[in-house]
Amino acid sequence: MSRTVLKVAGESGMGLLSVGHIVAKMLRGMGFYVHSDREYPSLIKGGSSNMQIDFGPSPIRCLSKETDLVIALDREGLVEYLDTIKEGGVLVHGFERHHLIKDLQEKAAKRHIHLLYLPAHSIAHELGGGELMVNMVLLGLMWRVLGFQLKPLEEAITEQFAKKPKLLEIDLKCVRAGYEAKGVEIPAYKIPVPKSKPDQILIDGNMGVALGAIKAGVRAYYAYPMSPSSSILTYLANFSHETGMVVKQAEDEITAAQMAVGSMHMGTRALVATSGGGYDLMTETVSMAGMIECPLVVVLCQRPGPATGLPTWTSQGDLQMAIHSAHGEFAKIVLAASDPKSCYELTQQALNLAERFQAPVVPLSEKQVCESQVMVNLEEGEAIAIERGLVTAPKELAALKSADRFRHTENGVSKRWIPGSAPAGYYANSDEHREDGVLTEAADEAKAMMEKRMRKVEAIREALPDSVVFGPKKADISFVGWGSSKGVALDAIEACAEKGIKVNYLHFDYLWPLRDEAFRKFHKANPNIHMLENNFQGQLAELLEGKTGLKFKGRFLKYDGRPFYLEEVVEYAEKNK
Amino acid sequence: MSYQNPIPDYQLLADRKQEYMKYESSQKLTWCEGCGNFGIQKALERALVLEGITTNNVLMCFDIGCHGNGSDKIAGIGGYTLHGLHGRIISAAAGAALANPRIKVVAEAGDGGTFSEGPGHLIHAVRSNYPMLFILHNNENYGLTTGQASAMTRKGYPMNGSPDGVGAEPINACDFVLGLKPSFVARAFSNDVSHMTDVLRAGLRHNGFAFVEVLQTCPTYNKATPEPWYWDKLRPVDQIKGYDASNLKMAREAAQDMDKEIKVGVLYQDKNSVNFLERLPGRKGIKTALVDEVKAFDIAKLIGPYR
Ligand SMILES: Cc1ncc(C[n+]2csc(CCOP(=O)(O)OP(=O)(O)O)c2C)c(N)n1
């Protein structure tokens, strides 16, 4: 399993994204598996950012910490990322005042890093591109270093900038000049180009959510922008002419959640997404959905808190918050996506579960999942059928009584029908109510209705799939996790196998109501068991230990806004095996 | 009383008495004696029946407050009702209205919920022009929580929790909404059921967000403006010579006075109003409602560019 790691670093706004996107797209076109992500501050312009691309001949499910090749578009990029380059790696830059980077040159020499310099600024200016095209010169140089052909790069750029023909010409000149690399000694890189191309697309998790929503028949999307959920709004809005979906940027998160409840109550499918702060505002509505037994799906895209926290970084810090969110006791379902494909599938499952059990569902995502571009095949595997749990047969509709709506049933789920579809109406009441929805404050009626609603918890638990084991049944070291922990764990299983260490991993897609049978078995077979979680407390570890009384041997926790990198998990496994 | 009650459509109501009776409910009414909510409920029932809207074709949405305690006392047979959260009903109702325009959505809320807990919802519902009727129960206080001051409470009157009265000026609801370039603004009085019926009918017919403020008596907590205070101050705009309800400037002018001559009736209406759904380019030419469209959508075309 050999992967190459590229990083394009510079200030936000210097065009590193377009470089990153062109490169990622090209690599995918050449048949490589690609996994890329962007690190950036919560600013529009300025501030150090980078885009990292891990690529190789086999699936890549997480990012690495160390890089092989860095393009630094500015001095900051140079300084900040030199240390991330592996011994013998390459740093491509266009920083003309060499005397200012003497110490860096010494540092690089010590670790045998090739510092490749091209006067990218003057080249770009001479060719008429100005500062904005420095990135193209360096891109050309990097492509040369990678040892790939110029032609496909020219084609990719032509495609990317087809709409700006004047600039395109200059873009191409700059790229060629970079590729020519006059006077630069190019280190020999040999990256074999794959013979075939996987049938996969390169998308991020938020696109997975958007496509999952569309596939599941969602007809209304309401949201208020908040990183890292915002691009779901962008994607769905941009698709809206094709889908006819009502996509509304609401005035706040309370509105978004309320509108979704209104639309769901009326019988269509709606969706909302937000991040922690926005979810906090939605919780009263989540509670209301619990009370009136209205389906509601809120995708919670996590970022580190508390408060505004680290808006553009990643976290798994809101699991317990999601589980325990909103006042009162009611059935609620929490899931967690781990990559774009699971975003796509779990969004569909969430809508089915919400409608089948008439309950709020919170699919969790995280910046790392929302924005990382990963190769996936969405059509692979069994299609998820839409399950609405609605009464639709004319005969059955005709026979309905108002009290059927909140009838005390064995599993707590009562009949639900689209308003206007049956002669019997019903009353969705956020006050405690009887079977027909009419308000009651009688102790016995209140107790019975609470018990009816809470019976759904067990019904849901039985319906949810249990956690799943990846890797060998027994291992030297075992991990348990959810969300983006899966990607890094799966890559670590392979990386550790190469080192002769047997690793396995237990993954939770469905987190609440918690199922623990598979965990108990896994724990029994694998005493050297460790939690892998991107938060301070080990929130799932706490839940599992609390529920089963079984303990983890160790907890590998990270809460600095960064995801787990492959090397870190491999190193942890080596130390704790 | 400075004006004559318009004659209600007695014959039509009589013809439709079966429909009318479906709006009645066997639940015990729990409002105080003399509460304006009785009149509002009556007028709404009449307006719905006169507009040919059966209990099966309307979703009644209620905020939390005294008015919301009437939520199980209307549309008793075959009706659909949603009783939501305090201050939030406009948005829930809007979501419902977008989902199925074949069903009329009516939302009701108090002045507390509308102008203190959730004014943002009102502002953007007006701007968005969601297709629905909204009735503001303005009793100038928080009724259900026993008489605290609202943003409509008149200056200087002692209230629960504000024994010295509030120092701030009250908000003028219609003036506020008229400032948002609305498509429909009307005002009525809770104890003039016939006039209110006509106003609500116009609101039900409106294509877009219809805002109706009902000046509501509250004999228990609102001592500043009891029922008799209103009668000789009300002035229906259709009795004002030259009043033009399509003139926003005129409407704003008319809405100002809340003390001496209070204008009631349809203050403003844009008869060419285009509602939220009709404004969406992505839904041009689509005849179905969102409730009809929940089907697996083929994403192949959408992911084409990503291949
Ligand atoms: C979030 C929230 N805050 C407070 C309350 C308590 N509460 C219920 S009704 C109400 C005010 C009622 O006043 P208004 O909205 O004017 O309606 P009215 O009772 O006068 O009809 C309040 C504060 C609540 N139910 N929810």
The three-class DSSP label of residue B21 is: helix
Residues A127 and A17 in one domain: yes
Angle at A132 (CA atoms; ends A130, A133), nearest 5 degrees: 75
Q: Is the minimum distance from the CB of B73 to ligand 1 under 6 angstroms?
A: no
Q: Is A307 inside a domain boundary? A: yes
Q: Is A384 inside a domain boundary? A: no
- A239 lies within 8 A of chain B by CB: yes
What is the H or E stretch that residue A577 is in?
none
Q: Domain residue spans in chain B?
A: 10-306
SS3 for A388-438, per residue? CCCCCCHHHHHHCCHHHCCCCCCCCCCCCCCCCCCCCCCEEECCCECCCCC
Number of structural domains (chain A) is 4
What mean pLDDT comes out for the span A227-239? Answer: 98
What's the whole-model pTM score?
Answer: 0.96
Per residue in A94-133, pLDDT (tens digit) is 887 766 678 888 989 999 999 999 999 999 999 998 888 9
Residues A363 and A472 in one domain: no
B7 pLDDT band, cuts 50/70/90, is low
B10 pLDDT band, cuts 50/70/90, is confident
Among A341, A444, A252, smallest CA distance to A35 is for A341
| Ligand 1 atom closest to residue B116's alpha carbon, by position in its atom list | 15
Per residue in A492-527, pLDDT (tens digit) is 999 999 999 999 999 999 999 999 999 999 999 999
Sole residue written with tokens 């919780």: A283
Residues in chain A: 577
* Contacts with B66 from chain A: Cβ below 8 Å: none
Q: Is A52 inside a domain boundary? A: yes
d(CA A120, CA A535): 42
Whether the predicted pLDDT of B4 surpasses 70: no
CA A28 from centre of chain: 20
CATH code (residue A23): 3.40.920.10
* Closest alpha carbon within chain B to A215: B297
Per residue in A208-224, pLDDT (tens digit) is 999 999 999 999 999 99
Task: Tell me whether residue A566 is exposed, middle or buried, using C-beta atoms within 10 angstroms of its C-beta: 0 to 12, 13 to 18, 19 or more.
Answer: buried
From the options 3.40.50.300, 3.40.50.970, 3.90.1150.10, 3.30.450.20, give the CATH code of B10-306. 3.40.50.970
- Interchain proximity A262–B82, CB inside 8 Å: yes
Residues A424 and A479 in one domain: no
- pLDDT of amino acid B28: 87
Residues A38 and A172 in one domain: yes
Residues A366 and A507 in one domain: no
Residues A38 and A153 in one domain: yes
d(CA A131, CA A140): 15
d(CA A206, CA A185): 42
Q: Is A164 inside a domain boundary? A: yes
CATH code (residue A503): 3.40.50.920
- pLDDT of amino acid A80: 83
Instruction: Determine which of A33-42, A360-369, B115-124 has the lowest per-residue pLDDT on average.
Output: A33-42
- Interchain proximity B294–A217, CB inside 8 Å: yes
Query: Distance (Å) from the C-alpha of residue B193 to the closest C-alpha of chain A?
Result: 26
Sole residue written with tokens 């009903």: B89
- pLDDT of amino acid A187: 87
Whole-angstrom CA distances from A553 to A243, A466, A479, A524 are: 50, 22, 10, 12
A77 pLDDT band, cuts 50/70/90, is confident
What mean pLDDT comes out for the span B226-246? Answer: 96
| Ligand 1 atom closest to residue B109's alpha carbon, by position in its atom list | 15
- Interchain proximity A425–B77, CB inside 8 Å: yes
- A217 lies within 8 A of chain B by CB: yes
* Contacts with B280 from chain A: Cβ below 8 Å: 240, 246
B2 pLDDT band, cuts 50/70/90, is very low
B5 pLDDT band, cuts 50/70/90, is low
* Contacts with A398 from chain B: Cβ below 8 Å: none
- Closest partner CB to B291 (pick from A242, A266, A386): A266
Instruction: Determine which of A8-12, A255-259, A545-549, B113-117 has the lowest per-residue pLDDT on average.
Output: A8-12
Whether the predicted pLDDT of B1 surpasses 70: no
Residues A411 and A283 in one domain: no
The three-class DSSP label of residue B307 is: coil
> What's the B289 CA to ligand 1 centre distance in angstroms?
33
Whole-angstrom CA distances from B254 to B187, B200, B229, B239 are: 11, 19, 19, 13
Q: Give percent of chain A above pLDDT 90.
A: 86
Instruction: Determine which of A464-478, B2-16, B52-66, B157-171 has the lowest per-residue pLDDT on average.
Output: B2-16
Q: Is A185 inside a domain boundary? A: no
Domain housing A353: 202-376
Whether the predicted pLDDT of B8 surpasses 70: no
| ipTM > 0.95, yes or no | yes
* Contacts with A267 from chain B: Cβ below 8 Å: 99-100, 291
Residues A442 and A517 in one domain: no
Query: Distance (Å) from the C-alpha of residue A350 to the closest C-alpha of chain B?
Result: 15
- pLDDT of amino acid A412: 98
> What's the B159 CA to ligand 1 centre distance in angstroms?
15
**DSSP assignment of B34-94:** T-THHHHHHHHHHHHHHTT--GGGEEEEE-SSTGGGGTTSSSTTT-EEEE--TTTHHHHHH
B111 within 8 A of B140, measured Cβ to Cβ? yes
The three-class DSSP label of residue B228 is: helix
- Interchain proximity B72–A240, CB inside 8 Å: no
Q: Is A539 inside a domain boundary? A: yes
User: Which of these three, A376, A405, A432, is where a domain ends?
Assistant: A376
Indicate the average pLDDT of chain A: 95
Q: Is A386 inside a domain boundary? A: no
Residues A482 and A458 in one domain: no
Instruction: Determine which of A195-199, A219-223, A271-275, A505-509 has the lowest per-residue pLDDT on average.
Output: A195-199
d(CA A363, CA A358): 15
d(CA B279, CA A209): 26
A303 within 8 A of A312, measured Cβ to Cβ? yes
Among A507, A497, A418, A515, smallest CA distance to A457 is for A515
> What's the B140 CA to ligand 1 centre distance in angstroms?
13
Query: Is the bond preceding A194 in cis, omega lying within 30 degrees of 0?
Result: no
> What's the B112 CA to ligand 1 centre distance in angstroms?
6
Per residue in A394-451, pLDDT (tens digit) is 999 999 999 999 999 999 999 999 999 999 999 999 999 999 999 999 999 999 999 9
d(CA A351, CA B225): 50
Q: Is the minimum distance from the CB of B255 to ligand 1 under 6 angstroms?
A: no
Could you tell me whether strands A270-274 and A220-223 are parallel, antiparallel, or unpaired per DSSP bridges?
Answer: parallel
- Interchain proximity A268–B290, CB inside 8 Å: yes
Q: Is A187 inside a domain boundary? A: no
Cα within 13 Å of Cα(B111), Cβ side: 28
User: Which of these three, A463, A484, A506, is where a domain ends?
Assistant: A463
Identify the residue among A159, A263, A378, A397 best suited for mutation to test binding to B, counting B beta carbons within 10 A and taking the highest.
Answer: A263
* Closest alpha carbon within chain B to A256: B91
> What's the B113 CA to ligand 1 centre distance in angstroms?
6
Rounded to the nearest 5 percent, the helix, strand and coil shares of chain B are 35, 15, 45
